[in-house]
Structure 1
Amino acid sequence: MRGKRLAMALAMTVACAASAATAPPLQARSASAGVLKIDKARIDAALKQMVVDGRAAGTSALVWQDGKEVYFGSAGMADRKAGRPMRRDTIAQIFSMTKPVTGVALMQLWERGRLRLDDPLAKYFPDYAAMRVYAGRDAAGQPIYVPVERPVTIRDVMRHTAGFAYGPGPTPAHDAYIAADPLALTIGLPEMNRRLAGVPLLFQPGSQWSYSIGVDVQAALVEKLSGQPFADYVREHIFEPLKMTDTAWRQPDARLPRFAAMNVKQDGKLEQMPDAEARTLNFQDHALTPGGFGLASTLDDYQRFARMLLNEGELDGARILKPATVKLMVTDQLDPAITERLWLPEKGAVGFGLDFAVRKRPPQTPAENRGAVGEYFWDGAASTLFWVDPANKLTAVFFVQTMPYDGSLHRDFRAAVYGADYKGRPGD
C-alpha cells in the first residue's frame, strides 16, 4: 500500500494541472482604479472557505507589493491528526514549483557561456543523437517510428516542445516511457538520461507543447556543465545567496515536525496520508535529485525566490540572474504555429517561456483565473501556486497540500487577491 500511495503521489507531479477547475470564482469587488489594493479580509475569507468546504485541510498565503509585505494569512491545519495548525514556518511539498528553480540554475550557466539555447541536446548527451518519433501504426497494427526531422534543442527542453513523455498515455511511446522508468528514485541523473534517450518521442521536436520530463534533463545539464551534484549547485548558487534556509530536496530530520501532511482526495473526501508515507516524499534516502519536482519549502523562502525574479534577478544585494536573462525566461517562446498545447490553454490566455507560463492577454472569460498581462507563474501537484506580476509590482505564494491538483483553489485565491472582475491591466 505504501508503495502504491507513493507512486500515485509522484505520478501526480506530471499532471499538476491536467484539468481546469469548474467551481465559479469567488465573488468580490475589483480594486480601486489605478492601484491594485490588497483586501486582507477578502483573502482571509477565501482561505477559510477552502477549509470549510473540504477542498483543503490547511491553507496559507504570502503577498508582497511595492517592496513590502501586504498580506500573510493561514487557515486550517498543517496536520489534522496531530492538531497542528498551518503556520508561517510550515514546510510544504511544492512539486513542480521546483521547475522554475531548475530553470534559473541552467540559465546561470547560459550566462557564463556554457551552453547555447539552440544547441542540440546531443552535443552534451550523445545518447540523444539517434532519437526516433512515434508516427502511428501500420496496417498490421505495429508501431511506426521515424527519425527526428531536426535535433531536440536546449530551448525545446526548457519550453516543453522536445516531444518527451512524462507518464502513462495512449501510445506505444508512452508505454516505452513507463517501461524505461527514467524517474526511478533509485537512480541518478546520468542514468535517467540514458534511459530517457531510448524512449521514442511523442512528436517531432518543436511541433507541439506537451508537459514533460524535460526539466529533469535540465537538472542533468546543470550537473554536467557545473561539475557539481545538482542539489549542491542549486544550494550554493541560488538558495544560499537568497537566504532560502528551509528549501531543499533532502530535509534534515530536525525539520520534519514542521512538514505539512499530504492530503489525498478519495471518494470526494480528503484523507490524510500517513506520516511514514508522506515523509517518503522527502528525498533523504533517494539517489535521484529531480529537476522537475522534489523540493520542499516555506512561504517566506519561496517568496524570496519570487521577489528576486520581480527585481529582475537580484534581491538584497544578491545577483542571481541578469535582468535581460529574466526577461528572456518570461517571454513567450512558443511559435504561433504550435497550436497543439495539451492542457496549457486551461491556464488561461497564456504562452510559455523558459520554465514559466506567461500571461499574454487579459482574462477572456469570467471563469478564467484573474491576473495581469505580463505575469508569469507555475504551480505544483499538491495545488501550490506562485506568480510574479510586474504590472502591479506584486508577488504571491499560496500553499496547500491537496492532491490531486485542484485548480478551483487557485481561481478563488486569485479572485481574492485581485477581485473577481479584475480585467488584467493596471487601473481596471
Structure 2
Amino acid sequence: MSKAERLGFSKARLERIDRFLQDKYVGPGRMPHAQFLLARGGEIVHQSVLGMQDPERSVPLAENSVYRIYSMTKPVTSVALMTLVEEGLIALDDPVSRHIPEWKDLAVFSAGTGPYLTTPPARPMQVVDLLRHTSGLTYGFQNRTNIDAAYRKLKLENMHGEHDLEAMIQMLAKLPLEFSPGEAWNYSVSTDVVGYLVQKIAGKPLDQVFQERIFDPLKMVDTGFRVRDDQKSRFAACYDAAPGGKMKLQDDPQTSPYLAPPALLSGGGGLVGTAADYMRFANMLLNRGELDGARILAPKTVDLMASNHLPGGADLTEMSRSLFSESTNAGVGFGLGFAVVFDPPQTLIPCSLGEFYWGGAASTAFWVDPMEDVTAVFMTQLLPSSTYPIRRELRTLVYSALMETNG
C-alpha cells in the first residue's frame, strides 16, 4: 500500500495535481513556479515542486525556496494577539482606543477629499473588529473611495518606505473610517493595527514577539520580515501578471527590498517564508494550538478563531464592501484572522464544514480542514492573486483524490 493510500488518498488522482499545475500554469509561462504541500494528520501525503525559482537566471525551484507570503502573515499576527488574550492582557471586546488613545475620536467619512465631513460611529471600534475586518479601516490598493486615495497618498501600506508602525497609527488617527465598526466587512490594514497592539502590549518589537511566541516553538526556521544572507540563494522571483497570460518581473530576488529589514513590520503582509514552515503553522492550527509538544494556543482559543464572527452569522457576500477577495465568498464567513466555511454547498466546490483558510497577494494560499484532518499550502509568486482561480482548482483536485472521508 502506498503512503497516499494509507492516508486515504488515491495516488493516481493526486498525481493529477502536478500535471494540472505544469500543463495549465508553469509550462505555458503563466506562473514562474508552483509548490504545493498536502498533509493528512500532519503527515505529508503529496508535494509538487515545479518551475523556476528565478526564471531570469534559470534557478530551479526547490523544496526550501523562500517566498513573500503577503497576507498569509495575517493569521500569524492574529495568533500572536490571541496568545496575549489568553494571558488576560487584552480582550476581544476591548475598545481599541483603550490601547490606542489617539483613536478615541475616530469618526466616519461622509464626504470630501480633506478636510472631510464626518459623523460619529454608531459604536466604538473593538479589538474583534480588527481581527475580522469590520473595523471601518481600508486598503489604499482598493482604488474605490476617497479614503482609499488618502491611504495611497500617505503610502500607508509601504513596508519598505520611511514610516514604522507607530507612524502608521498616528497617520490613521487623522483619517476617518469608511463605515461605522461592525457595519460591514472591508479588507484592510486592520491586521497591521493588530500587529501594533501585539508589540505595544508585549513591550517588544513585533518580529521579536513572533520569534519568541511562534517561530522558535514551532521550529519555523525560515520565516521572518526579511530575507537573511543565508537565504538569498533560495529567494524566489516575484512577477506581475501581464496581458495574454504572460508575466513581467515585479521584484528581482537579487535586488529586492526584502533583503534588508523593513521600516514597517507589517503584521498584515510583511513576512517571507517557506512552504514547510507554513505547513508547521497550519498543522499547529489543525491540532488546535499544539505541534510536536509546543503549545501555542489552547484548543478552545483556536476553536474561537475558527468560528464565523461576522455580525448576525452573515457570510462575506452579505457583509463585504471590498473589491478585493481571496475567493468567492458564498457560504463563507470570517473568523479571527481567516475565512471560515459554514455552508459548504454554497461555495460550489468540495470542502468541509469548519474549514478555514486564507491567501496572499502573490497567489499563495493555505487551508486547514479539521473534519478531514487535512492541511494544504500552495506557494508561487504571481501578482495579483485574482489572476487565476488556482485556489478553487486545488481544492477540487485534492478532494477529488480523497477516498476515505470523515464527513
| TM-score (norm. length: structure 2) | 0.89
Q: Separation in 2 of the partners of 1:342 and 1:407?
A: 22
Q: Which amino acid aligns with 1:61?
A: F
Q: CA deviation at 1:37?
A: 4.7
Q: Give the direction of change, closer, same or farther, for the CA distance of 1:337–1:418 in structure 2 (3 Å limit).
A: closer
Confirm or deny that 1:254 pairs with 2:225: no
The CA deviation string for residues 316-365 of structure 1, in whole angstroms up to 9 with x for no partner, is 00000000100000100002376331355724420000011001112436
Does structure 2 conserve the Cα–Cα contact (< 8 Å) formed by 1:283 and 1:289?
A: no
Aligned-residue RMSD, C-alpha: 2.6
Report deviation, 1:90.
Answer: 0.6
Residue in structure 1 matched with residue 109 of structure 2 by the alignment: 134
SS at match of 1:371: coil
Assess, with a 3 A threshold, how the Cα gap between structure 1 residues 277 and 381 changes in structure 2: closer, same or farther: farther
Picking from 320, 334, 348, the partner of 1:352 is 334
Q: Are residue 294 (structure 1) and residue 270 (structure 2) matched?
A: yes
Q: CA deviation at 1:183?
A: 3.0
Identify if the C-alpha distance between structure 1 residues 72 and 328 changes in structure 2 by more than 3 Å, giving closer, same or farther: same
C-alpha distance after superposition, 1:271-321 (max 9, x if no partner) = 2335268611x1624221110011111111110000000011000000000
Contact 1:163–1:208, Cα closer than 8 Å, also in 2: yes
Contact 1:57 1:401 in 2 (8 A): yes
| Mapping 1:15-414, distance limit 5 Å | 37=10, 39-49=13-23, 50-136=25-111, 144-168=117-141, 169-184=143-158, 185-268=161-244, 269-273=246-250, 275=252, 279-280=256-257, 282=258, 284-336=260-312, 339-342=318-321, 346-364=328-346, 368-405=348-385, 406-414=387-395
Change (3 A) 1:58 1:170: closer
Tell me the distance in 2 between the aligned counterparts of 1:371 and 1:46: 19
Identify if the C-alpha distance between structure 1 residues 378 and 274 changes in structure 2 by more than 3 Å, giving closer, same or farther.
closer
Letter in 2 for 1:40: L
Change (3 A) 1:298 1:276: closer
Which ranges in structure 1 are unaligned for 5 or more consecutive residues?
A: 1-30
Q: After TM superposition, give the deviation of residue 197 of structure 1 in Å.
A: 1.4
Cα shift at 1:249: 0.6
Structure 1 Cα separation of the partners of residues 270 and 131 of structure 2:
18
**Deviations 1:117-144, CA, capped at 9 Å, x for gaps:** 0111000111110011012479xx9953
Contact 1:36–1:392 (CA under 8 A) maintained in structure 2: no
Could you tell me whether the CA contact under 8 Å between 2:226 and 2:259 is conserved in 1? yes
CA distance, structure 2, for counterparts of residue 363 and residue 277 of structure 1: 45
Opposite residue 358 of structure 2, the aligned amino acid is W
Letter in 1 for 2:21: L
Q: Structure 1 253/203 Cα, relative in aligned 2: closer, same or farther at 3 Å?
A: same
Structure 2 segments unaligned to the other structure (5+ residues):
none
Identity within the alignment, %:
40
The 10-residue stretch of structure 1 (108-117 or 405-414) with the greater mean CA deviation from structure 2: 405-414
Number of residue pairs matched by the alignment: 390
Paired with 2:133 and 2:232, the residues of 1 have a C-alpha distance of: 33
